[in-house]
Structure 1
Amino acid sequence: MDFGNLESSSMIYVVFRQECYLVVLDAKRIGDGDEIVLKLEVPEHLSFPFGFHEFWDEK
């Protein structure tokens, strides 16, 4: 992936419902119905703080 190009970017977010998931989306496919690249269920003993965000550095 070319992370300097918005069309080939990914988005990471955390979903809290009855369970917690860490989800990675393909930014150029959002809205197409097949944007989920990875979905991981987070065990109950782990949690993400509200305001969780990621940072990518190619170095």
Structure 2
Amino acid sequence: MKIIGRRQPGSGGLEQANGFLKLVIGLRGDKPFIPRGVHRFRSHEEKDAWTLQMLTRPTRARPR
């Protein structure tokens, strides 16, 4: 068997990302990052602008 490269598996992986993922889920709540469905754009730039707008839109205040 031929081995190419010397990449070593990293430690942690999902355990390290767990805190960040919980923060993201807490901030977004039940609202998805990108709305579901088919979206058509005239250019990649238009798609990128729309995606950025969807990712950074504010969440609605939750009723208490």
Q: Does TM, scored on the shorter chain, surpass 0.5? A: no
Higher RCO, 1 or 2 (CA under 8 Å, sep at least 6)? Answer: 2
Using the size of structure 2 for normalisation, the TM-score is 0.26
Structure with larger Rg: 2
Determine which structure has the larger strand proportion and give its number.
Answer: 1
Determine which structure has the larger helix proportion and give its number.
Answer: 2
Using the size of structure 1 for normalisation, the TM-score is 0.27
